[in-house]
């Protein structure tokens, strides 16, 4: 039973962001569009308590706030001047956003103001944001890059974009690990995958150019959000497109002295800032085109996952999986999860193996298709078929830890091949596995080898 239980735990832990506020569980299923709610936190500081003033920073920030309202963002929170204190900014990041932003929301944070530079434990330079009541050369009250990265780890938001009208750097030094799904979900589009993206107005050693009290970066940003950044003119404006546009536009406007940077520090998706059209198949009308039917199938599949995450009866999740398959009989991930549920939670080996075989047919790039089929065949006593499926899972994902453990058990208990079992368990441990059985088998093999010499 461990093989299945371990996979299921990993499956759902992998799906969840680092910290889940209660708001997340109020957002069940899919929103009408891409997001349930869109948040923009706009921070502008011009009149510092001790640091030099920045003429026009608040006016620039207000232009950015208006641009996001024009894009249809539901909540545009403006924090200017005296309100942008160290205490207030920490409250925003530590309390308000974690409580209110949900798992199907998008979140943009814009900052214009001073930045400072400090060094980490390895002597590398890293930026920090300077609140209104802080000093430029004293990071004691700063909002550091590391603090912001930790915030993005805790945030439940589907897509997060950090926009800085300042040279904010240091992300590359200790980039947060992308949310690893171990191949368990393979969505079709980047907008379906989690993402944390950063755009800064300048590189290390540069400054954010201001002409006539107005930032060149903000001018380009507002124009980009108004549609100028839609390079392929398809009506969709993605954060990656915006970053590329700002790089070109600001470099040109500054005569080559300022170079914005754009990177992804978490996940592998892409925020949609402007939707070219209403998502098909979610408007209430019956889906007709293959694209619409697949989108509806994906919606049902994700609702099934949500129900299982919340501990709801597996039968409810199975209803959504059946609906997903009804709308799109080639939706491989639905067969993966259906196969698992029939293996362990709603036992039916005939249904399980049928779903498992359809999973490998329609989702051959998902390692879990083969892993699940391997577990099913092992339960049915088909050892050779189980081994073949598990080995195929490793061809798709050579570092799939749980598969090596399953092979170790299969070789030990059914094939009776001790060397293969030890090799599989050893690889499992090398990949970070900690199960006691694997540790004991490998330790015993190493002891016996040592004694034989």
Could you tell me the pLDDT band of residue 438, with boundaries at 50, 70 and 90?
very high
Tell whether the model's pLDDT for residue 163 goes beyond 80. yes
Q: Is domain 34-274 classified as CATH 3.40.50.1460?
A: yes
**What is the mean pLDDT of the segment spanning 307-322?**
86
pLDDT, residue 213, reads 86
Which residues make Cβ contacts (< 8 Å) with residue 16, sequence separation at least 6? Answer: 309
Rounded CA-CA distance 265/170 in Å is: 11
Give strand pairing partners of 39: 75, 107
DSSP conformation class of 85: -
pLDDT, residue 154, reads 87
Tell whether the model's pLDDT for residue 277 goes beyond 90. no
Tell whether the model's pLDDT for residue 128 goes beyond 70. yes
Rounded CA-CA distance 293/282 in Å is: 10
More confident residue, 27 or 440: 440
Report which of 214, 183, 185 is spatially closest to residue 201, judged by C-alpha positions. 214
Q: What does the H/E/C string look like for 213-270?
A: CEEHHHHHHHHHHHHHCCCCCCCCEEHHHHHHHHHHHHHHHCCCCCCCEEEEEEECCC
* Domain extents in the chain: 2-12+286-452, 34-274
Rounded CA-CA distance 84/131 in Å is: 6
pLDDT, residue 33, reads 66
pLDDT, residue 11, reads 40
Dihedral sign from CA coordinates of 150, 153, 155, 161: positive
More confident residue, 79 or 31: 79
pLDDT, residue 140, reads 86
**What is the mean pLDDT of the segment spanning 323-339?**
92
pLDDT, residue 22, reads 37
Q: Which fold has domain 2-12+286-452?
A: 1.25.40
**What is the mean pLDDT of the segment spanning 175-183?**
35
pLDDT, residue 303, reads 82
Q: What does the H/E/C string look like for 383-447?
A: HHHHHHHHHHHHHHCCCCHHHHHHHHHHHHHHHCCHHHHHHHHHHHHHCCCCCHHHHHHHHHHHH
More confident residue, 357 or 7: 357
pLDDT, residue 194, reads 85
**What is the mean pLDDT of the segment spanning 261-287?**
69
pLDDT, the chain, mean: 84
CA angle 265, 269, 271 (to 5 degrees): 90
**What is the mean pLDDT of the segment spanning 289-293?**
78
Could you tell me the pLDDT band of residue 6, with boundaries at 50, 70 and 90?
very low
**How many CB atoms are located within 10 Å of the residue 361 CB?**
12
Tell whether the model's pLDDT for residue 1 goes beyond 50. no
Rounded CA-CA distance 318/325 in Å is: 11
Please give the model's pTM, rounded to 2 decimal places.
0.56
pLDDT, residue 287, reads 52
pLDDT, residue 282, reads 36
Report which of 299, 371, 376, 367 is spatially closest to residue 331, judged by C-alpha positions. 299
pLDDT tens digit sequence for 344-367 = 899 999 999 999 999 999 999 999
Tell whether the model's pLDDT for residue 274 goes beyond 50. yes
pLDDT tens digit sequence for 372-399 = 999 999 999 999 999 999 999 999 999 9
**What is the mean pLDDT of the segment spanning 189-203?**
84
pLDDT tens digit sequence for 211-235 = 988 999 999 999 999 989 987 677 7
**What is the mean pLDDT of the segment spanning 74-83?**
94
Dihedral sign from CA coordinates of 10, 311, 368, 416: positive
More confident residue, 33 or 440: 440
pLDDT, residue 447, reads 92
Rounded CA-CA distance 43/110 in Å is: 6
pLDDT tens digit sequence for 8-47 = 434 433 333 323 333 333 444 445 567 889 999 999 999 9
pLDDT, residue 304, reads 86
Give strand pairing partners of 161: 108, 197
pLDDT, residue 61, reads 97
Tell whether the model's pLDDT for residue 244 goes beyond 80. yes
């Amino acid at each position: 039973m461990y093989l299945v239980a371990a996979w299921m735990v990993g499956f759902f832990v992998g799906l969840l962001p680092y910290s889940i506020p209660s708001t997340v569980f109020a957002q069940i299923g899919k929103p009408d569009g891409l997001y349930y709610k869109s948040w923009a936190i706009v921070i502008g500081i011009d009149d510092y308590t001790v640091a030099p003033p920045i003429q026009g920073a608040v006016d620039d920030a207000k232009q950015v706030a208006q641009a996001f309202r024009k894009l249809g963002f539901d909540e545009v929170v403006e924090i200017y001047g005296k309100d942008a204190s160290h205490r207030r900014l920490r409250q925003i990041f530590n309390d308000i956003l974690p409580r209110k932003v949900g798992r199907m929301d998008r979140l943009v944070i814009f900052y214009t103001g001073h930045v400072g530079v400090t060094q980490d434990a390895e002597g590398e330079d890293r930026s920090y944001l300077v609140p209104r009541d802080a000093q430029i050369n004293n990071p004691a009250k700063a909002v550091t890059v590391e603090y912001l990265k930790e915030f993005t780890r805790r945030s439940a938001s589907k897509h997060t974009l950090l926009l800085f009208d300042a040279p904010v750097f240091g992300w590359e030094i200790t980039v947060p690990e992308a949310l690893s799904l171990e191949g368990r979900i393979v969505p079709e589009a980047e907008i379906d995958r989690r993402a944390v993206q950063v755009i800064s107005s300048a590189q290390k050693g540069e400054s954010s150019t201001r002409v006539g009290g107005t930032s060149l970066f903000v001018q380009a940003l507002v124009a980009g959000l108004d549609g100028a950044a839609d390079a392929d003119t398809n009506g969709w404006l993605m954060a990656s497109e915006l970053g590329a546009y700002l790089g070109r536009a600001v470099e040109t406007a500054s005569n080559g002295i300022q170079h914005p940077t754009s990177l992804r520090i978490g996940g592998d998706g892409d925020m949609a800032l402007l939707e070219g059209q209403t998502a098909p198949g979610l408007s209430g009308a019956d889906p007709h085109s293959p694209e619409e039917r697949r989108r509806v199938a994906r919606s049902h599949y994700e609702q099934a996952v949500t129900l299982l995450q919340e501990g709801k009866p597996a039968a409810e999740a199975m209803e959504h999986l059946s609906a997903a398959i009804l709308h799109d009989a080639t939706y491989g991930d639905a067969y993966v999860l259906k196969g698992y549920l029939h293996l362990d939670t709603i036992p039916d080996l005939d249904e399980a193996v049928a779903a498992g075989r359809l999973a490998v047919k329609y989702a051959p790039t998902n390692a879990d298709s083969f892993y699940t089929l391997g577990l099913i065949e092992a339960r049915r006593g088909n050892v050779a078929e189980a081994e073949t499926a598990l080995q195929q899972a490793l061809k798709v994902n050579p570092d799939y830890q749980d598969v090596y453990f399953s092979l170790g058990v299969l070789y030990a208990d059914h094939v009776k091949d001790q060397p293969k079992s030890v090799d599989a368990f050893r690889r499992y441990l090398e990949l970070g596995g900690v199960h006691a059985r694997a540790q004991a088998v490998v330790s015993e093999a190493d002891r016996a080898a040592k004694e034989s010499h």
